[in-house]
Amino acid sequence: MKERIIGLLTIAAAIVVLSFIYLKGDGLAEIEQRIEARQSVTVEEALIQADLIYPWIIQLGAFQDLEDAKSLAKQFERKGYNTYVSSKDFSGKKIFRVRIRPSFEDEEVDPIIKRLERGDYEFQVLGKGQQ
């Protein structure tokens, strides 16, 4: 019985020491970067993305308030979608559009549309000329 207690204490001490070394080193910076990346939302000006024409874009919503747009974008990012916020001026008012774009060059839109339909989400698919 004594040996088991000593063995368990030794293993626990090793885990604590290794955890401390990992978190004190590069591990902590990596964890902080992951947290920051999860909390941030990409906001792109419409002029910048005009150079990047995708085969398709799915628009989930448009808002006058950036925080509303960020909230929706984060919601869909947590579900695994490649979301971003596009800002554009319309008649002197800035509009923030929440959109999904392809994760890779040849990604098909149909599986994403089916997934959104199963979730009963409202969306609009935009082709190359509509972005």
Q: What is the mean pLDDT of residues 27-38?
A: 62
Domain of residue 16: give its range: 2-35
Q: How many CB atoms lie within 10 A of CB 22?
A: 13
| Residue 7 confidence (pLDDT) | 83
Same domain, 88 and 103: yes
Residue 117: CATH number of its domain? 3.30.70.1070
With bands split at pLDDT 50, 70 and 90, how would you rate the model's confidence at 62? very high
| Residue 104 confidence (pLDDT) | 85
Same domain, 102 and 78: yes
For 80, left (φ over 0), alpha (ψ -120 to 50), or beta?
left
Q: Tell me how many domains the chain contains.
A: 2
Strand partners, 82: none
Same domain, 31 and 49: no
The string of DSSP codes covering 70-86 is HHHHHHHHHTT--EEEE
Q: Whole-angstrom Cα distance, residue 81 to residue 55?
A: 16
Same domain, 64 and 79: yes
For residue 105, the number of C-alpha atoms closer than 13 Å in the C-beta half-sphere is 0
Same domain, 50 and 89: yes
Same domain, 56 and 73: yes
